[in-house]
């Protein structure tokens, strides 16, 4: 004879209780369910909580009727679930009560006016925000439309990114812009400005446009105490962002990003090459033209060229650069690069002063003289790099993360959507707060 099965006493065997356990919501009764031909599950529930009295006058309320609200819930066993909540409607017996009647609310099940259950909304926010998934992808998993998921993500996401403790004191602030969207038949470009804590590598916020007004407004809204804690600022060679620091944070020591300084000099070198190309041959570069063949080597760092490569470059320049303008611009670019090999800031100051004076000579090509004027305008921020050793690299990396969200979303038109989605992904919100948030649609 087989031995009788031993069922653990902790197991629930009542089918109603098992259903309630699987649904996993507090204080509810499962009324029933159905699986549709498309494999979607429809569950009907009602709450068990009692109402003590009128929410206004405290009188004992009476049941007025029922209102069924359909909500999108988390999938179960691989099938999308719609949760039909039979909400009770209550009536106050006092004729003079201003409330009259009301419908029960339980934010543990779903927030007011949201179409997703509370747990589905938090899950969707985490997947779209933290993991960078598309709204369409999450909507497909839940079996609902794009707007249902997006509205919920915006509601929870805005509460997360606007939390006062998301970022605190900032000692080094970086500014940079990136393209947001192109609109209209003429594809007009609209930019946004990213404000970044370059010490912690945290995206603080995005503001519309790349003009100075919005970043200045954002900084001033932080308050005097916060502004006083910012000691340094990083930026590319942007006069607009320099004016933001000069007007909103005049005490901050500016640092010109090393990469952008060298890139500017390389750009001037390439301008010189193209000018000489047109002056000597009368057309743009072609594959057999000397200056076109040498363009890659000119942009390389001198130490990356071996002796053979260096001799080949100088030989081609002798053939295509009769006046020596391109070679002079190359030497000037390398001299600026050598500036960043200097460890002492006072020595760097004397070095850059000599470069400024030397490059001002009228015998140099116009591009080299332009390099000298740039060094003169940005002298102090360039020297500051030797003391502070910070760059705008973290700001550029935040721009890369923002562009990833743009690619995932196949572009954005709503700045609010873009700001929230990007800050959820790159703004380091405290995700441990997500289970505690209470939001309304």
* Helix (H) or strand (E) segment spanning residue 396: helix 393-408
Cβ-defined contacts of 215-218 (< 8 Å, 24+): 215/175, 215/241, 215/244, 215/248, 216/244, 216/247, 216/248
* Three-state DSSP state, 19: helix
Predicted confidence (pLDDT) at residue 52 exceeds the cutoff of 70: no
Residue 353 Cα distances to 99, 237, 356, 379, 382, angstroms: 78, 19, 5, 8, 12
Give per-residue pLDDT as tens, 195-246: 999 999 999 999 999 999 999 999 999 999 999 999 999 999 999 999 999 9
What is the C-alpha separation between 17 and 37, in angstroms, rounded? 26
Give per-residue pLDDT as tens, 373-415: 999 999 999 999 999 999 999 999 999 999 999 998 888 999 9
Predicted confidence (pLDDT) at residue 440 exceeds the cutoff of 70: no
pLDDT at 20: 76
Mean pLDDT of the chain: 91
CB atoms within 10 A of CB 441: 14
DSSP 212-229: SHHHHHHHHHT-HHHHHT
pLDDT at 411: 84
Predicted confidence (pLDDT) at residue 11 exceeds the cutoff of 80: no
pLDDT at 1: 58
What is the C-alpha separation between 429 and 419, in angstroms, rounded? 13
Beginning with the edge strand found earlier in the chain, give each strand of the sheet holding 202-208 in spatial order: 202-208, 188-197, 172-183, 232-235, 253-256
Question: What one-character DSSP code corresponds to residue 207?
Answer: E
pLDDT at 3: 67
User: Percentage of the chain surpassing pLDDT 90?
Assistant: 71
* Three-state DSSP state, 331: helix
Domain edges within the chain: 9-109, 258-388
Q: Which residues is 203 bridged to in the sheet? A: 196
**Confidence grade of residue 369 (pLDDT, cut at 50, 70, 90):** very high
User: Percentage of the chain surpassing pLDDT 70?
Assistant: 97
CB atoms within 10 A of CB 141: 18
201 φ/ψ angles, rounded to the nearest 5 degrees = 65, 45
pLDDT at 73: 93
pLDDT at 108: 86
Mean pLDDT of 118-140: 94
For strand 232-235 and strand 202-208, is the pairing parallel, antiparallel, or unpaired? unpaired
Mean pLDDT of 166-183: 95
**Could you tell me if residue 100 is left (phi over 0), alpha (psi between -120 and 50 degrees) or otherwise beta?**
left
């Amino acid at each position: 004879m087989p031995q009788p099965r031993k069922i653990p006493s902790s197991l629930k065997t009542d089918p109603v209780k098992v259903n309630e356990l699987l649904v996993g919501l507090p204080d509810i009764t499962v009324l029933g369910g159905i699986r549709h031909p498309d494999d979607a599950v429809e569950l009907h529930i009602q709450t068990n909580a009692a109402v003590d009295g009128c929410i206004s006058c405290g009188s004992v309320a009476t049941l007025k009727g029922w209102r069924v609200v359909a909500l999108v819930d988390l999938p179960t066993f691989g099938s999308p679930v719609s949760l039909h909540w039979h909400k009770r409607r209550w009536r106050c017996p006092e004729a003079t009560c201003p409330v009259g009647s009301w419908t029960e609310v339980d934010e543990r099940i779903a927030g007011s006016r949201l179409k997703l259950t509370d747990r589905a909304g938090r899950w969707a926010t985490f997947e779209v925000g933290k993991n960078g998934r598309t709204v369409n992808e999450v909507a497909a998993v839940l079996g609902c439309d794009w707007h249902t998921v997006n509205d919920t993500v915006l509601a929870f996401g805005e509460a997360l990114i606007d939390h006062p403790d998301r970022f605190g004191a900032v000692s080094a602030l970086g500014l940079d812009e990136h393209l947001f969207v192109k609109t209209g038949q003429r594809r007009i470009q609209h930019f946004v400005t990213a404000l970044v804590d370059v010490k912690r590598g945290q995206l603080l916020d995005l503001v519309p446009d790349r003009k100075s007004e919005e970043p200045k407004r954002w900084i001033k809204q932080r308050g005097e105490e916060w502004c006083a804690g910012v000691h340094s600022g990083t930026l590319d060679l942007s006069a607009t962002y320099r004016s933001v620091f000069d007007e909103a944070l005049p005490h901050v020591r500016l640092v010109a990003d090393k990469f952008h300084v060298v890139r500017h000099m390389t750009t001037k070198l390439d301008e010189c090459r193209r000018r000489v190309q047109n002056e000597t041959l009368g057309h743009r570069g072609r594959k057999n033209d000397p200056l076109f063949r040498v363009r890659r080597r000119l942009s390389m760092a001198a130490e990356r060229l071996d002796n053979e490569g260096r001799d080949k470059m100088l030989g081609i320049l002798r053939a295509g650069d009769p006046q020596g303008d391109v070679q002079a611009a190359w030497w000037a670019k390398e001299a600026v690069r050598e500036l960043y090999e200097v460890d002492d800031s006072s020595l760097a100051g004397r070095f850059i002063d000599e470069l400024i004076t030397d490059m001002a000579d009228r015998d140099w090509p116009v591009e080299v003289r332009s390099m000298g004027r740039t060094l003169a305008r940005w002298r102090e921020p360039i020297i500051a790099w030797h003391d502070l050793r910070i760059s705008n690299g973290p700001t550029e990396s935040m721009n890369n993360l923002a562009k990833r969200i743009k690619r995932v979303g196949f572009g954005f038109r709503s700045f609010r959507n873009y700001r929230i989605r990007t800050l959820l992904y790159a703004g380091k919100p405290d995700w441990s707060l997500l289970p505690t948030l209470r939001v309304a649609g």
